[in-house]
A and B are shown apart, each in its own frame.
Chain A
Amino acid sequence: MSDEFNIKNIAKLASINLSEEEQDSLSNDLSIILEHVNALSDLKLNSQQQEIFIHPLEKELELQDDEVVESLTHDEAISNAPESKDGKFVVPPSME
């Protein structure tokens, strides 16, 4: 497995603005953890060709019927917004 770890790039992908200090300490922690999880690379698997389920009981996930059901009201859905106007979420501009 690869030991490359570009903390700035990963933080950008995760949308977290890390300080220089945090970059150093998290980079160090993550290297140690990745070294540990690399133990998996030695594992010879029997089930390589098998279908992988996300559900541990191997339940097939089904789509719900397209029916209207009771849900949050518009006001409830927006009640925790940091900023809203006319029932809509307000955000800073996406393009400069």
Chain B
Amino acid sequence: MDASHLSIREINSLFTKKELKPSELYSKVFENAANSEAALHAHLTLFEEENIKKAAESDKRFSNDESASLLDGIPIAIKDNINIKNYKTTCSSKMLSNYTSPYDATVIEKLKEQNALFTGKTNLDEFAMGSSTENSAFGLTKNPWNTDYVPGGSSGGSSASVGARSSIAALGSDTGGSIRQPASFCGLVGFKPTYGTVSRFGLVAFASSLDQIGPITKTVDDARIIFSSISGEDSRDATSVINNQLDLPSDNTATIGVIKELMEDGISDEAKNEVNKVIEILKSKGYKVKEISIPIIKLSISIYYLIAPAECSANLARFDGVRYGLRVDGNTSYEMMENTRAEGFGSEVKRRILLGTYALSAGYYDEYYGKALQARKEMIDEFAKSFKDVDYLISPTTPTQAFKSGEKTNNPLEMYMSDLCTIPANLAGLPAISIPTGLSKDELPLGVQVMSRPLSDNSLLDFSEIIENEVQFDGQPKGWL
């Protein structure tokens, strides 16, 4: 039996019954990595040697019946914009190619306390800016289902790794869909928790009012286990919130809203069909389903591409060749900074910094950034109004299946449009999940997205698990396992 296909709870049960050792599973995921990394390039660094001792310690705990954690001995891949002490954190940027983190992110501290094992750091679009993992300074990641296609992004390395079973689960970060979109493209579950429930301390900042860390997993239950392990208020992140969860019904007393604007033009028939399939199942189970209109969703891309670049231009001002990262010489400090940033950042990062700088510059602030903030507030209010009528909102996760490598690299706006369905949850701070539901005619995965009101993450996961059990998607990429 190949345990790398199993869920976290199933693996833990085998560990507890002493039918499988953590070190055996650890060897298996590295065997899978050896079979897939050359073709997929999911990881930037692999930690095999360093963690053999830790896997043996997990073995000992289970052997002595001393383990108390579901994540003990579970190999987890970490997106390379999350700091692990004494390891490189490159953000897939030339700017940070030699940066070694002097501290652990809060989520890493929490996973270490649970005795999880780290497989390595995964590839991403530079500083998490992108939707295909083609913006990495260290090479492309490919989709494990078909290597002609992108794995999505920006957490494409994390999703390719879980897809190829070179890890059991992974952490990603989601600013406009960067967990959910690659999870959908790779046939996995991707969960973006409510903004503030998971500490951002130690996550390299892109757009601080939108960024959120979350899991990419094979099952909804795996996402639940990781979310409960990494969430919690943190004094080192001023935006973190007390995780007081609301209880929503997940059984057929719940009402489901289908977002009209995300079932119209610009969404492929295949993506719509997956939503309709789930709706039919829910109706047959007795759930009440209604159409909900949130017209401002049509402006999501415009709002997002003012707010996210504005925050990015401020956050990435720290990369100036002085305290860390790349330095390119110049005659003065200013020249040195300009040369360093010219050499260290790739095209997409420059594009967003310049866009944000413009949106925040004197004379344009009110008409661009100010207006976007007001529109965002309007969107938050519109969602709150919808949640008076329905418990959950459903839509496609992505407008289409995965696209081919190189297909959108010369057209930034078209690339941005691939996040149309996922961006609203970031703007409104909502919990949102992508659940794999089927395959396209090209045999590539498709998913549906479910959103709910802030701080109803646990109910959202319960409801998503019902969909998962009803749909019974059991597809797996072939060739790596």
Contacts and interface: CB of A to CB of B under 8 A. Distances in A.
B354 A14 contact: yes
Nearest to A78: B323
B474 to A, nearest CB: 35
A59 interface: yes
Contacts of A82: 321-322, 324-327
Contact of A56 (B296, B363, B380): B380
B299 A91 contact: no
B102 interface: yes
A interface majority secondary structure: loop
B367 A41 contact: yes
A36 B354 contact: no
Q: Is the interface of B mostly helix, strand, loop or mixed?
A: helix
Bin the interface of chain B by size: 35 or more
B236 to A, nearest CB: 9
Give the interface residue-count category, chain A: 35 or more
Nearest to A38: B302
Nearest to A13: B357
B324 A81 contact: yes
Nearest to A14: B357
A33 interface: yes
Contacts of B347: 22, 25-26
A27 B336 CA distance: 23
Interface in B343-390: 345, 347, 350-351, 353-355, 357-358, 361, 363-364, 367-368, 371-378, 380-381
Contact of B332 (A7, A13, A93): A93
A43 interface: yes
Contact of A52 (B339, B367, B377): B377
A30 B361 CA distance: 15
Contacts of B196: 55, 57, 59
Nearest to A55: B239
Given A16-B341, A82-B325, A57 B241 contact: yes
B412 A43 contact: no
Nearest to B301: A36
Contact of B355 (A13, A15, A33, A83): A33
A46 to B, nearest CB: 6
Contacts of A15: 317, 320, 334, 337-338, 341
B330 interface: yes
Interface in A81-96: 81-83, 89, 91-96
Most chain B beta-carbon neighbours within 10 Å: one of A13, A30, A46, A56: A56
Contacts of B380: 56, 58
Given A2-B367, A91-B322, A92-B335, A52 B345 contact: no
B341 A77 contact: no
Q: Name the residue in B195, B354, B377 with the highest tally of chain A Cβ atoms < 10 Å from its Cβ.
A: B354
B209 interface: yes
B374 A52 contact: yes
Residue from B209, B320, B334 having most chain A Cβ neighbours under 10 A:
B334
Contacts of B239: 55, 59, 61
B327 A83 contact: yes
B317 to A, nearest CB: 8
A76 B104 CA distance: 13
Given A10-B357, A18-B350, A96 B102 contact: no
A11 B7 CA distance: 49
A76 B427 contact: no
B415 to A, nearest CB: 11
A23 to B, nearest CB: 10
Residue in A2, A16, A38 with the greatest tally of chain B CB atoms within 10 Å: A16
Interface in B154-205: 194-196
Contacts of A46: 378, 381
Contacts of A83: 327
Contacts of B209: 54-56
Contacts of A61: 238-239
Contacts of B306: 37, 40
Nearest to A49: B374
B87 interface: no
Contacts of A91: 322, 333, 336
B469 interface: no
B99 A80 contact: yes
A55 B195 contact: yes
A11 B313 CA distance: 11
B274 to A, nearest CB: 27
Contacts of A30: 351, 354-355, 358
30 contacts: A11-B354, A13-B361, A14-B313, A26-B351, A30-B358, A32-B413, A33-B351, A33-B416, A37-B301, A40-B299, A43-B378, A46-B381, A48-B374, A52-B374, A55-B429, A56-B195, A56-B428, A57-B194, A57-B196, A57-B455, A64-B235, A72-B102, A80-B102, A81-B323, A82-B321, A82-B327, A83-B327, A91-B333, A92-B331, A93-B333
Pairs A-B, 8 closest by C-beta atoms? A56-B429, A82-B327, A80-B324, A17-B338, A76-B102, A17-B342, A37-B302, A14-B357
